[in-house]
Amino acid sequence: MGRPALILAALAADAASGKKFRHFRRSDLGPDLDALELFDENGEGFELIVPATTAGIAEQAQLMAGLRAINQAAGQLPFEVSRLVGQTSENELPVILLTLPGGEKPDLSKYAPGPFSKSFGEAMAAIHQLDPAVVRDAGLPEYDASTVLHNKVAEVDLVASSGKVPAALLSRWEEALEDVGLFRFHSTVVHGGIGQDSLHIKDGSISAVGNWSALSIADPAEDLKYLAGGALPSTFEDALLHYRANRPQADENIAQRSILYSEIELASWLHHCLQLKDEQMVSEAEAMLDDLAQQLAAGTLKPLRAAGFIGLQGSATVPLSQTEPLLKPNDSDELF
């Protein structure tokens, strides 16, 4: 059940001595962390985070490592980033108090091309153009294109083992993963957890980005999959236009990979639900995959095949000589 809210509020008062909180409410960060949102007399928001399990200690540490790193470059970002306000401890467990940006959670179903898609493209481009030293100096993970590819292959193998993913979808994903050209990209600084819980919206635009625990150097397409899988196609396309306008060096296959990742994520969610043995969640996840399979059968899903390589040779990070022994590329004559 976690700690009582009043206990958490007392810890917040200890972490920020002299600050007076007027009201508070529970925050759901998962089973491994106890969290409480608090608001002071000026309406400023804060979030207290305390490990609830052994796994929560590591999760909190990852969050703090990401926050410390991204705050080094916060001045280069067109949105607000949470800051550490205070710290204390409870029975030797670390307790942290962070600023809580205002705004509402996004609802992708209501966004047509406009302020949201523009701000999304600009925000992701700003993250991806940060100096990788921000991540490297903090000792955070770094994945090159080859590692990203092999991790995705392993993910598809895992979800396929459930026997519940439509065969047509598995074939679509496997063909994409065998297309060497699709994975020619430069790794960049990546948020790694872009979604409804990490974005804060004011006046229809992104005002803040939170949840930096997955900060790394990896495939920038990871940060675009949220829109690729949940937004109107026109909204996703508009975000891509603004993204490319602010990051013209982006590889030409970033959209295809983001769509691929968003589709695979649905299967990974089904696998997670199966592990939880929650029949309702499993049924809902299966329905989403069945709907995706029906779209594939109807020919309404965008193709995942790589675009031509014109202009990419100089930016490729996965030479064919490195990947050919590990993959079965599609007919290369059609790619060049």
pLDDT in tens, 106-125: 999 999 999 999 999 999 99
pLDDT band at 308 (very low <50, low <70, confident <90, very high): low
pLDDT score at 265: 97
Mean of pLDDT over the chain? 91
User: Over 90: is that where the pLDDT of 325 sits?
Assistant: no
Q: How far apart (Å, rounded) are the C-alpha atoms in residues 225 and 247?
A: 17
Which domains does the chain carry? Answer: 5-100 (3.30.200.20), 108-334 (3.90.1200.10)
Residue 283: how many other CB atoms lie within 10 Å: 10
Query: Are the beta carbons of 193 and 213 closer than 8 angstroms?
Result: yes
Q: Which amino acid is at 265?
A: E
pLDDT band at 100 (very low <50, low <70, confident <90, very high): very high
Helix orientation angle between 279-298 and 167-177, rounded to the nearest 10 degrees: 70
- Per-residue tokens: 287: 């329905």
How far does CA 30 lie from the centroid of its chain? Answer: 16
* Alpha-helix runs per DSSP H in the chain: 5-15, 54-71, 115-128, 133-136, 145-160, 167-177, 225-230, 233-246, 254-276, 279-298, 320-323
User: Over 60: is that where the pLDDT of 315 sits?
Assistant: no
Residue 155: how many other CB atoms lie within 10 Å: 18
Q: What is the DSSP letter of 52?
A: S
User: Over 60: is that where the pLDDT of 329 sits?
Assistant: no
Burial (0-12, 13-18, 19+ Cβ within 10 Å), 6: exposed
Query: Are the beta carbons of 289 and 165 closer than 8 angstroms?
Result: yes
> Alpha-carbon Rg of the chain, whole angstroms?
21
Low-confidence winner among 68-82, 143-157, 202-216, 312-326 (lowest mean pLDDT)? 312-326
pLDDT score at 28: 86
Mean pLDDT of 282-293: 97
The model's pTM is 0.88
- Per-residue tokens: 214: 């997955």
pLDDT band at 310 (very low <50, low <70, confident <90, very high): very low
Mean pLDDT of 311-319: 39
Mean pLDDT of 137-166: 97
